[in-house]
Structure 1
Amino acid sequence: MTGTYGATYGRGASTYARVGVESGVMSASPHQLITMLFDGAQAAIRAARIHLEAGNLAEKGKSISKALDIVNNGLLAALDGEHGGEVAGNLASLYEYIARRLLAANAHNDVGALDEAERLLDDIASAWRDIEFQAAGA
């Protein structure tokens, strides 16, 4: 695709994708929204690893920043310290640790720190998905 048609198609496809994501968010339950945050953080970490291994440090930094934003302003911010009790406190500590590992990965180009952050997020996300599955079956 070249010329105006290609540019128009590209804009249309990107708008369609954005609307699809926005529609998914609008129709998602609170539980599904948290699942989407986990998915987004993990995708950003995978992208950071790919950029790091390719030597594209600027894009690595952008991907880690995205993961940090999701962890800090999504997952951590969604915790209910008032009603969540000890579980919310433990998750807050874990999210803060994950954020520190992401910062270390960015500062030192440390694939191991990325791996650890992704593994921890995967463990929490798996437990979160199990809760949804159990609630649906109940």
Structure 2
Amino acid sequence: MFSQGHAGANAYARVGVETGVMGASPHRLIVLLYQGARQAIAQARMHLQQGNVAGHGRAISKAIRIIEGGLQQSLNLEAGGEIAERLNALYSYMARRLLEANIKQSETMLVEIDGLLATLEEAWIGIAPEITRMAAQPAAESMR
């Protein structure tokens, strides 16, 4: 199977990811979730092209878990108002579409969902300066 060198590299990568998550801000965690879902979709596409049905299914399942268990669960539907409701509906659509992509072995559907995630990731990254400014504001006010 794999040599011990691969096991060591995999363990090192896991530690790097875990360390990155432990020190990440809530904003950064969402970016990591978008990136993880997109990476899983890229893996699903690769497995589909190689004819690896099992790998394709595992990668799609991972993307669905990230979307439903990470992105969707992080929404605050009460405080987030219409934006949170629309994101919730979009995440549900993405999960359904990924399931359909798995059943139909459709790369086109995977590309569609990756595009949606890329757009959301770009927008989320774009608000980082505003998030930083808002986070610094209470600290500055408490110094007065």
TM-score (norm 2): 0.86
Mark the runs of 5 or more structure 2 residues left unpaired by the alignment: 135-144
Correspondences of 1:38-117 after superposition (within 5 Å):
38-117=34-113
Shift of 1:60: 0.2
Mark the runs of 5 or more structure 1 residues left unpaired by the alignment: 1-5
2:125 alignment partner in structure 1: 129
Q: Deviations over 1:1-27 (max 9, x none)?
A: xxxxx9554443332221111111110
Shift of 1:88: 0.3
- Decide which of 20, 25, 29 is 2:21's aligned counterpart: 25
Name the amino acid aligned to 1:64: I
Structure 2 CA distance, aligned partners of 1:43 and 1:83?
30
CA RMSD, Structure 1 to Structure 2 (Å): 1.7
Structure 2 CA distance, aligned partners of 1:60 and 1:9?
25
Aligned length: 133
Q: Sequence identity, in percent?
A: 47
2:137 alignment partner in structure 1: none
- Decide which of 11, 14, 23 is 1:15's aligned counterpart: 11
Name the amino acid aligned to 1:32: R
| Closer/same/farther in 2, CA of residues 50 and 26 from structure 1, 3 Å limit | same
Structure 1 CA distance, aligned partners of 2:3 and 2:53?
29
Structure 2 CA distance, aligned partners of 1:73 and 1:29?
18
TM-score (norm 1): 0.89
Structure 2 CA distance, aligned partners of 1:132 and 1:93?
24
